[in-house]
Structure 1
Amino acid sequence: MPEPGSAPGLVDVARRWAETLADTKGVSLPKEQLEQLLLGVAQDAVLAEPDHQPAVLRFSKLYSASPIGIALADANGTIVEANAALGRLLGCRPSALRGREIPDLGSAEHDVARLRNALAQLMTHGQPTQQERLLLDHSEEGSLWVDVTLTDLPGDRPGSTYPVLMVSDANEIHLLQERLLHQNVHDALTGLPNATAFDNALETALAGSGGEQVALVYLDVDGFKVINDGLGAGVGDQVLRGVAKKLTSVFTGRHNGSVARLSGDGFAVLLRGDFTPPEVITLVEQALEELVEPIYLGGHGIGVSASAGIVVRPVADGGPEDLLRAAEIALHRAKEAGKAQWMLFDPELDARDRGRYQLGAVIAGALENGEFSLIYQPTVKLANPDQLAAVNAGLRWSHPEKGELDSDDFYPLAQITGMTIPLGRWLLAESLAATARWRNRFGEAAPDVCVRLPNRLAIEPDLVLLVKEQLDRHNLPAQALRLCTDRESVLDSSGEVLDSFAVLADLGAQLVLTISGSDDLELIPRHGLPVRHVILSGAVVDALADGEDEADVRHLCQLVARAKELNLRIGAEGVRSPEQAERLRRYGVLAARGSFVADSATGDEVDELIERHAP
C-alpha cells in the first residue's frame, strides 16, 4: 500500500530497486536505506513539482555509481542510456550501446529470444523478469555469462513506464559450476564419463525409437591387481589411462559410441544405431587386441588382457536394469570361461541359470525345513565284497518341485550363496549321529563313516573345532571318522587345509586324499600330509573297465607300489562292474565303491547291509 501523500505504486518500485542493488556484490548500503533513497528518487521524479533537479541528481548519482550494469530504454525497448558498469561488463563504451535493442545484446539466438520474450511480458503484462542467466555479447571475449533482471520504472506522464535492464557478471560462477558439474559426471583419473553419467546416457539411449539397436559392452581388466601391487599404484593409474585411451579410439565415433569408467578396472561401452551382433563383436575383438599391445612405462612394456560381456538388442526390449544385468552376466561367463575373451549374452542360457540361482537362493530355507537327508555309498573290501569297509556320507535334497537332487546339483550353488558351511555342519552332525547308532547296535561290525569335504569347508579355519564338537556331542572316537579332500583344497593358497589336517590327525581322525595320478600322490610326502588312505579316481580307474591295456596296468601298478612305499591304503571309486573290481584287486587295490555294489543307499539299506554281513 502507498504511504500517505505518495504516488500509487512507488513503494513497490523502490523495493524492487532496493532488493536488486542490495543483493549485488559491492553495495555497502543496507537494503532498507536503499529503499528509502529510491523511494525519494521515484517520488521526486514522478510528482508534478516544478523542480525535479534534486530527484534527478540523486538518481543520476546512484545510477552512475551502481556496481551492476544498467540500461535505460524507451517504450519500444531501445536503449537510450547505459551506465559505466554495463560498458565495462560488455567491453565497450556505454555510448556504443545507445540505439541498440535490448534483445540484440543476446549472444546466441536462444538468448535473443529469451530477452525478447521477457521484454514482451514486461510491456504487455507488467511482469518483471526474475533473475535469469544467459549469454550476452562481449566486444573482445565473444560472449559472457550474466545474470539479468528486466523491470520497469514509471515515466514522467501518469501511467507511463520504461524498461530497465540490470546485468551482473556471472561468468566465473557459471564456469565454476560447469567445472563442478563436469567433475560430478566424469572420472578424475581417465576423464571418461563416470557411472552416474553412463546411467544417464543409457536411459537416454533406451528412450530412442524402437527401430534402433543398442549394444552394451562391459569390459574388465584381467589381473589388474598384479599390476597395481607389483609395479605400484602410480603405474596402475597410467595403465588405466592407457586402457581408456585405447577403448576410446576403437569405439568413439562409431554407432554413437561412448566409453565410461564404472569402477577401478571396469569399463563400459554404449553403442546405438543400426548394427548387428557380429559388427559389435568385431569392435570388441579389435579392442581386446589393442589392449594386449604393450604400454611402455618406466622401462616396462605392460600389456593387459580384458574380459568382455556383450548385449545387443532393440531399444524397445526392456529397461536399463535388464540391459545392465544381462551385460554383467555375460561378463561373468567370460571370466569363468578363462578370461581374456568375450561372451555374448544368451537369453536361453540365462533362463537356465536363473533356475539354478533360484535353487541356490532357497538352500537355507530347505535346510531349515528338513528337505535334506543323508545318502550313502558303501565301500567294500575287494578281497571280501560282502564286507563293508566304510560308508561315504553325502547329501540329497528332496526338492518339492524338482524332486531328488544330488550334491553335484546344489553344492556349487551353496558355494556361491555361502551355505557350504551350514550344509557341512549338518552333514557331519547327521553322519556322526548315524555312526554312533551303528556302533551301539552292531559294535565292531559298524563301518567307519567317510565325509568328503567341499573345498570351502576344507579350507574353513574352524574345521577342527567343528569336527571336535560333533565327535564330542556323539561320544565317538576320532578314528570312527574319515575326512576326504582333493588336490584343489590341499593346494589352496591360504594353507588352512595343511594346518587343519595336522591337528585332525593328532586327534585320531583318518584322512583320505582323492588322487588321479602320480602328481596328486606326491603331494603327500611333499607337504607331509598325515594321510592314511588314497582313493583312485577318474581315468586310472576307467581304463580297466573293459580290459587291461599294458600301459594302463603299468600306470596303476606304479601308483599302487608308490602308495605302499608311503604306507597308504589304496581304494578306488567309480567302479562299475565286478570284473573291473576284480582287475583292480589283482593289481593291489584294497577297497572300492561304485555301481558294482550300489550307486547309493539309504540309512535303512546300510543297516541291512551291516546286519547281513555282521559276524
Structure 2
Amino acid sequence: MPEPGDTPGLADIARRWAAQLADTDGVALSSGDLERMLLSVAEEAYAQAATAKDAAIERFADLYSCSPVGLLLADEQGNVLDVNPALIELLGYQPDDLIGRPLTGLGATDSDNEALLSGFEDLRTMARSRQREPLELEHAVDGPLRTYVTIAGLPGDTPGTIFPVLMVEDVSELSLLRETLRKQNVQDPLTGLPNQRSFGNKLEATLAAPADDRLALVYFDIDGFKVVNDGLGPGAGDEVLRHVARKLADTFTDHDAFVARLSGDGFAVLMRGRFTRAEVVTLVEEAMTELAEPVYVADRGIGVSVSVGIVVRDATGGTQENLHRAAEITLHRAKENGRAQWMMFEEELDNRDRRRYGIGAVIGGALENGQFQLEYQPTVKLDGSAEVAVVNAVLRWNHPEHGLLNPEEFFPLADTTGMALSLGRWLLTTSMADAAEWHDEYPSAPDLCVRLPLRLAIDPNLVGIIRDQLEHTGLPPQKLRICTDAAALTDPRGEVLETLAVLADLDVKITLAVSAGSDLELIRLHKLPVGFLILAGPLIDALAADGPEADNARKHLIALLERARALGVKRIGAEGVHTLEHAHRLRDLGIIAGRGRLYGRAAPAPEIRTLIESNAPEHVRS
C-alpha cells in the first residue's frame, strides 16, 4: 500500500491550497509553512480512512468466510470469482471446480438456470436484486439440492459496475421435514395406508363429485385384537395390523378403491363405480378368507377374523356424517350378532339401531335428571289367601321421547356404555329405602326381592353396598331377597359365589332364577346358599295351554321340582302366571307363589304402600 505522501496529487493539492491561503489577508504563515501543515493534516486523514477501510475489508472477509449461508461472488459477466466455505460444503465442489464457471449454469434443471439468468439480467440492467426464491442447484455427488437463492449486487471496481452475489440456503432438510409432516397428516405411519383424516377428505370429495354410479363404504374391525396385543405384545399386534392392511390393499383394487386405516384396529374401504351389492359382498368375503389364514410372528400363527359393516348406495345425495354413521351402526350389528361376519346396511334395522343407540347414549343424564323410577310387582301366595309374599323391584325409564321403557330396552345398552353399575346401585339402594319405610310402618309388609343386573351382581363392592344400606335404612336383612341367575354365577369377572355366601351369613335371602334343569345343578356344583327358586320360561308358559304341550310341560316341571327338593330347596315360585287356571295348575305341582298378569301390573311405591296397608292386620292399620 503506498504511503499517504506518495499518493498521486496529494502534495500538489497541499501546495495549491498553501499558495492560495498565503495570499489571503490575515494569514501570517509563509507558503512553505502552510504547505507542510496542510500536507500533515491530509496524511493524518488519509491514514484514518485507510485504517477504517482495512477494518471494513477485514470484517467483510470474516463475515464472508464464517457465514453459515453459502455465498458466491461473480464478476460483471456473471462468472464465478469466489465462493465461501459454506457454499463449498453445501454443493460438494472444490473451489477450483466453481471458479470461472458461469453462475447461470449452477441450476439442476433448465428452469432453474433460466431463473438464475433472469435474476442476473435484472441485476445488470436495472440494478434490481432478485428476491429469495426456491431453486434446485446441482450437488457434486447427490444430484439436485433444494435451496433458497437470493441474487444481490456489490459495487464493482469502476463506477456503475455491479458484481453479482448469490446467497444460498439449504432447505432440503426443511423440505424433508415438511414432507414428513405432510405424510403424518394424511398417512398412517404403521401400515402406510391413508389415515382417518385422509379418508374423510376422500369421502367428502367423492360425495361432492356429481355422478350416476354407486358408492360402497365398507368398515372392517378386527375381532379380539386386544387378546393379541395383551397376550403377545404390541409388536405382534403391529404385525397383525400390517398384515390386515396388505390383504385389504391387495383385495380391493377395482372401482377406484381407497383403503385406509381409521384408528386402532379399524379399517375402511371406499369404492365408487358401477357395481352391485353382490359384487361388493364377494370382495368382502374374499378379504375375510385371505385374512383367515394365520400370520406368523416369531413362529406363532395368529388367526385373524374381522367383523364387517357394508353400505352400498347411489353416489349422489347424502352426507358424509350419515354415511359414516350408517357404516358404523352396521358394523356394530355384525359384532353384536357374533363377530367374524359381514352385515349389509338396511334402512329399517338402521332406524331401529339408531333409536337404541340414541337411548343408550343419554342414560347418564337421565339418571341424574330423575327420569328413572321404580315399580314393584307383587308375588302372591297360591294357597288361596291372595297374600302378597314378596314385591319385586322393577326399574323403568320415563323417557321424554320414547315413553316408559322396560329394563330389557336399556340395561343391555347400559352395559355397553358402562352405566349398568350406576343404574343397578340406584335400583338396589332406592328399593331398599322404600322397603324399609313400609316395614317400619307395617312389620308384616312383604319381603323385597331385587333381581340384580349382571354388572352389579359381579361387582366386588356389592356386599359393602348392601351392608351400608341395611344399616342406613334399618331394613331387617331377612326382609331382603337378592335374586341372581346362571349368567352371573358363571361370569368369570366377579366373585359372585363368595358374595352370596357373605350375604347369606348376613341373613339376606338368596333366590335363584331358573329356566332349565341345568340351572339347578349350579346349586350342587357351587354349594349355593339358595333358599328360594323362581321358575320362568317356556315350561311355565306351556303349562298355561291345553293338550299335549301342557302335559309335556307338566312332566318336565315335576322332574325339575323333584330335583330342586332333592337339593334342599322347597320354596319355589313362578313368574308369568296368566290365568286363575294357570295358577291352580302351578299350585297343584307344589309351587307356592306366583307373579304375572293375573295379579296385576307392577305399580309405583305409593300404590304398593296402599296395597300393604289394605292387607295389614286391623290393629296395625288403626
TM-score, normalization by structure 2: 0.76
Partner of 2:197: 199
**2:464 partner letter:** L
Alignment of 1:435-454 (within 5 A): 435-444=435-444, 446-454=445-453
Partner of 1:52: none
Paired residues, number: 556
The answer to whether the 8 A contact 1:69-1:168 is kept is no
Distance in 2, matches of 1:110 and 1:201, equals 36
The answer to whether the 8 A contact 1:193-1:261 is kept is no
Distance in 1, matches of 2:370 and 2:262, equals 47
Greater shift after overlay, 353-362 or 236-245?
353-362
Partner of 2:512: 513
Distance in 2, matches of 1:256 and 1:112, equals 41
Q: Paired residue for 1:585, among 562, 587, 590?
A: 587
SS in 2 for 1:556: helix
Greater shift after overlay, 113-122 or 378-387?
113-122
Give the Å deviation of 1:251.
3.1
Distance in 1, matches of 2:55 and 2:204, equals 56
Structure 1 residues 293 and 118: CA distance shift in structure 2, 3 A: farther
Alignment of 1:531-550 (within 5 A): 531-547=530-546, 548-549=548-549, 550=551
Q: Does 1:572 align with 2:571?
A: no
**1:389 partner letter:** A
Give the Å deviation of 1:474.
2.7
Q: Does 1:240 align with 2:238?
A: no
Deviations 1:322-375 (CA, angstroms, capped at 9, x unpaired): 665554444333222211123445566555544444444544454455443331
Partner of 1:302: 302
Distance in 2, matches of 1:495 and 1:120, equals 84
Larger Rg: 2
Partner of 1:425: 425
Partner of 2:220: 219
Give the Å deviation of 1:181.
6.4
Structure 1 residues 373 and 184: CA distance shift in structure 2, 3 A: closer
The answer to whether the 8 A contact 2:191-2:241 is kept is no
SS in 1 for 2:338: coil
Partner of 1:283: 283
Structure 1 residues 229 and 602: CA distance shift in structure 2, 3 A: closer
The answer to whether the 8 A contact 1:214-1:270 is kept is no
Give the Å deviation of 1:481.
0.8
Partner of 1:293: 293
SS in 1 for 2:443: helix
Alignment of 1:477-496 (within 5 A): 477-496=476-495
Partner of 1:342: 342
Give the Å deviation of 1:497.
1.8
Aligned-CA RMSD value: 4.1
Give the Å deviation of 1:296.
3.6
Deviations 1:59-106 (CA, angstroms, capped at 9, x unpaired): 8x979999946263657xx6566759778837699678967672x644
Structure 1 residues 303 and 409: CA distance shift in structure 2, 3 A: closer
Distance in 2, matches of 1:286 and 1:449, equals 56
Q: Does 1:499 align with 2:498?
A: yes
Give the Å deviation of 1:147.
4.1
Greater shift after overlay, 349-358 or 495-504?
349-358
**1:199 partner letter:** R
SS in 2 for 1:508: coil
Structure 1 residues 303 and 64: CA distance shift in structure 2, 3 A: closer
Q: Does 1:410 align with 2:410?
A: yes
Structure 1 residues 522 and 70: CA distance shift in structure 2, 3 A: same
Distance in 2, matches of 1:194 and 1:561, equals 65
Distance in 1, matches of 2:394 and 2:333, equals 29
Greater shift after overlay, 330-339 or 503-512?
330-339
**1:460 partner letter:** D
Greater shift after overlay, 572-581 or 144-153?
144-153
**1:372 partner letter:** F
Q: Does 1:251 align with 2:235?
A: no
Q: Does 1:388 align with 2:403?
A: no
Give the Å deviation of 1:489.
1.4
Deviations 1:240-261 (CA, angstroms, capped at 9, x unpaired): 3322322232235761523336
Identity of aligned residues (%): 45
The answer to whether the 8 A contact 1:148-1:167 is kept is yes
Deviations 1:359-413 (CA, angstroms, capped at 9, x unpaired): 4454445445544333121112223261222111212333444433333333334
Partner of 1:457: 456
SS in 1 for 2:475: coil
Q: Which runs of 5+ in 2 are unaligned?
A: 1-51, 618-622
Partner of 1:72: 74
SS in 1 for 2:307: strand
Distance in 2, matches of 1:267 and 1:357, equals 20
TM-score, normalization by structure 1: 0.76
The answer to whether the 8 A contact 1:380-1:390 is kept is yes
SS in 2 for 1:511: strand
Give the Å deviation of 1:287.
1.8
